[in-house]
Amino acid sequence: MASSLSFNAGGLPVLPLPGSYGPPLLGPLKDRLDYFWFQGSETFFRQRAATYKSTVFHRPRVIAVVDCAAFPALFDLSLVEKRDVLIGDFMPSTDFTGGMRVMVYMDPSEQKHNAGKAFCLDLLKRRARIWVSEFLLSTDVMLTTIEKELSGATPCIFSFLCKSLAGADPATCPEIADCGFAMLDKWLSLQILPTTSIGVLQPLEEIFLHSFAYPFALVKGNYQKLYDFLEKEGGEVIGMATSEYGLTKEGALHNLLFILGFNAFGGFSVFLPTLITTLGRDTTGLQGRLRAEVRRVLAGGRQLGFDTVREMELVQSTVHEVLRMNPPVFLQYGRARKDFLLSSHEASFQVRTGELLCGYEKLAMRDPKVFDDPETFNPDRYMGEKGRRLLDYLYWSNGPQTATHPRLTSSVLPRITCVTACLLVAEIVRRYDDFAATEAPSPSPSWKRRLRRRRCQAPS
Q: Where are the domains of the chain?
A: 1-91+328-364
Residues 78-94 have pLDDT tens digits of: 999 999 999 998 999 99
Q: What is the mean pLDDT of residues 170-193?
A: 94
Q: What pLDDT is recorded for position 284?
A: 94
Distance of CA 89 to CAs 93, 192, 242, Å? 13, 12, 32
Q: What is the mean pLDDT of residues 424-428?
A: 93
Beta strands in 3-49 (DSSP E): 6-7, 13-15
The fraction of the chain above a pLDDT of 90, given in percent, is 58
Residue 410: pLDDT over 60: no
Kindly report which listed range (323-337, 342-356, 428-442) carries the lowest average pLDDT score. 428-442
Q: What pLDDT is recorded for position 273?
A: 83
Q: What pLDDT is recorded for position 400?
A: 67
Q: What pLDDT is recorded for position 227?
A: 98
Kindly indicate the confidence band of residue 152, based on its pLDDT and cuts at 50, 70 and 90: low
Q: Which residues of 290-324 are buried (b: 16+ CB within 10 A; e: fewer)?
A: bbebbbebbeeeeebbeebbeebbbbbbbbbbbbb
Q: What pLDDT is recorded for position 3?
A: 47
- Regarding predicted confidence, which is higher, 454 or 20? 20
Residues 200-213 have pLDDT tens digits of: 788 888 888 888 89
* Cis preceding linkage at 203, omega within 30: yes
199 CB contacts (<8 Å, ≥6 apart)? 205, 443
Spell out the long-range contacts of 200-205 with Cβ–Cβ below 8 A and sequence spacing 24 or more.
202/36, 202/37, 203/37, 205/36, 205/37
Give the whole-angstrom CA distance, residue 328 versus residue 395: 11
Residue 332: pLDDT over 70: yes
Q: What pLDDT is recorded for position 450?
A: 38
Give the whole-angstrom CA distance, residue 447 versus residue 437: 4
Q: What is the mean pLDDT of residues 376-389?
A: 96
Q: What pLDDT is recorded for position 146?
A: 63
Kindly indicate the confidence band of residue 459, based on its pLDDT and cuts at 50, 70 and 90: very low
Mean pLDDT of the chain: 86
Bridge partners, 360 (sequence order): 331
Kindly indicate the confidence band of residue 5, based on its pLDDT and cuts at 50, 70 and 90: low
- Regarding predicted confidence, which is higher, 244 or 5? 244
Give the whole-angstrom CA distance, residue 430 versus residue 459: 9
Of the candidates 253, 279, 374, 270, the residue with the CA atom closest to the CA atom of residue 325: 374
